[in-house]
């Protein structure tokens, strides 16, 4: 199976919006199987905001982040912005929306799709309409993932090695991969390498 690499980055306030801390809601999931650092997880349907940009990975991610940050910080018809702390406070003219993890970046045909996962309290119908037509709102279907956790800096060589290890684990357990490899990172840049939380993820066919 030809696999494209997906960069999946959990949003941390400092990594995108400065040095202040921000409580981040993570997308909920149900653990189906655990074996050491290997897991199979079921994720529910998720609502995301996304943009498609071109260029090199880092350049595209920066541009995509800026476009989406513009949307969640008030670049929408309701002028709604993200709460930088938790719990979420609501005000009549400026409702604050809690950010959730992850942020995803996917390459396809030379372009990158960058996504922000929206808070679970919102639906497509209740999210404000983006001012920028490049920002799209959509609902992702429920999906099962095989996941392998690892620490470190998640360099390209590390990701390749762990991805191969995950593919082998999937085959050993007679699971069927149905999508691309995802790299998940959940820490701000200054986190010591040995404390960093990383994951490689591959969608698999649902089963018992």
Range of the domain at 30: 5-204
Block means of pLDDT (10 residues each) for the chain, length 208 residues? 41 37 70 96 89 74 81 81 31 42 59 78 89 93 94 83 94 91 72 86 86
Residue located via tokens 């089963």: 207
CA–CA dist 119, 135 (Å, integer): 17
Q: Confirm whether pTM is higher than 0.85.
A: no
pLDDT attached to residue 28: 83
In this predicted structure, what is the pLDDT of residue 100? 59
Phi, psi for 194 (deg, rounded to 5): -75, -10
Residue with tokens 């191969």: 164
| Total structural domains within the chain | 1
Q: What is the CATH number of the domain that holds 105?
A: 3.20.80.10
Max Cα–Cα distance, the chain, nearest Å? 55
Q: Residue 2: what pLDDT? A: 40
């Amino acid at each position: 199976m030809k696999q494209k690499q997906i960069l999946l980055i959990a949003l941390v306030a400092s990594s995108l919006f400065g040095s202040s801390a921000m409580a981040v809601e993570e997308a909920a999931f149900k653990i189906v199987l655990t074996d050491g650092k290997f897991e199979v997880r079921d994720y529910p349907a998720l609502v995301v905001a996304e943009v498609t940009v071109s260029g090199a990975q880092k350049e595209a991610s920066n541009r995509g982040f800026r476009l989406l940050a513009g949307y969640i910080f008030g670049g929408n018809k309701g002028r709604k912005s993200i709460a930088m702390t938790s719990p979420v406070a609501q005000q009549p003219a400026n409702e604050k929306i809690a950010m959730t993890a992850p942020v995803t970046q996917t390459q396809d045909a030379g372009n990158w799709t960058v996504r922000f996962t929206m808070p679970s309290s919102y639906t497509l119908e209740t999210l404000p309409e983006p001012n920028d037509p490049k920002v799209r709102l959509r609902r992702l279907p429920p999906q099962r993932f095989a996941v392998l956790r690892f620490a470190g800096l998640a360099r390209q060589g590390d990701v390749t090695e762990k991805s191969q290890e995950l593919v082998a684990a999937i085959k050993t357990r007679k699971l069927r991969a149905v999508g691309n490899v995802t790299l998940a990172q959940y820490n701000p840049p200054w986190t010591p390498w040995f404390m960093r939380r990383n994951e490689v993820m591959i969608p698999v066919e649902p089963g018992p």
